[in-house]
Amino acid sequence: MKLAVLGLLAFAFDRAGEFISRLMPYRERLYRLALAQLRNSTDAEDAVQEALIKAGKSAQTFRSESSEYTWVVRILINHCHDVQRKVSRRQKREVTGDLVEQKSTQIADTRAQPEQNIELSDMSRHLMDAVNELGQNYKPLILMRYFEDMSYESIAEALDLNTGTVKSSMNQAKTLLKSKLEARGIGGDYFG
């Protein structure tokens, strides 16, 4: 009996390892997506690693209804949202703690700014700032469509939405992004 259980465990680990190795060519694309979402290289690396580990652990549940890349993007985006919520809660606790203790020290964000991680032109920086202001409803759509060149169908699969909802939300995201860029003095139609 123990031998059968060990055999099943070995098979599961082998399958998970094989699955993760098939995902490794996507690592750089996943990193770029996580970096754009989290705006911190260390957090992005951790998020990709965590997404790959989660994908490996769940390899037996992958049903090939979508591509492996789309599936792991969904895991990554969900993990990035979790990280952002944790950072937000931690920052709120720190601010609240400072107010209670009446400290006059300012909380410094020790994470590197995106300008320190990647050299961007002024236009790129304005664009990334505007994209980052979109929030969790629209930001992943823009990142997946225009930074990762994913189809509407792939985005719908990754976010577990129907394609019509993705198209509608994408139009709203583009309108909002355009207004944010115009507020920065950048005109033109960059997203067709």
Q: How far apart are CA 166 and CA 76, in angstroms?
A: 18
SS percent in the chain: helix, strand, coil, step 5: 75, 0, 25
Tens digit of each residue's pLDDT, the chain (192 residues): 454 444 443 444 455 567 677 778 888 889 988 888 888 889 999 999 888 888 878 777 766 666 788 888 888 988 888 888 887 777 766 655 554 444 333 444 444 454 444 444 667 777 778 888 888 888 888 888 888 888 999 888 888 889 999 999 999 999 998 888 888 777 655 555
Q: Are 158 and 77 in contact (CB under 8 A)?
A: yes
Q: How far apart are CA 129 and CA 113, in angstroms?
A: 11
Kindly report the pTM of this predicted structure. Answer: 0.57
Q: How far apart are CA 122 and CA 140, in angstroms?
A: 22
Q: How far apart are CA 93 and CA 90, in angstroms?
A: 5
Comparing C-alpha atoms, which of 43, 46, 49, 73 is closest to residue 144? 73
Query: What's the sign of the alpha-carbon dihedral 67, 73, 74, 75?
Result: positive
- At 40, the amino acid letter reads N
Comparing C-alpha atoms, which of 111, 110, 109, 106 is closest to residue 95? 106
**Confidence (pLDDT) at 184:** 79
Comparing C-alpha atoms, which of 23, 45, 25 is closest to residue 34? 45
* Helix axis angle, 27-38 to 68-101, nearest 10°: 30
**Confidence (pLDDT) at 100:** 44
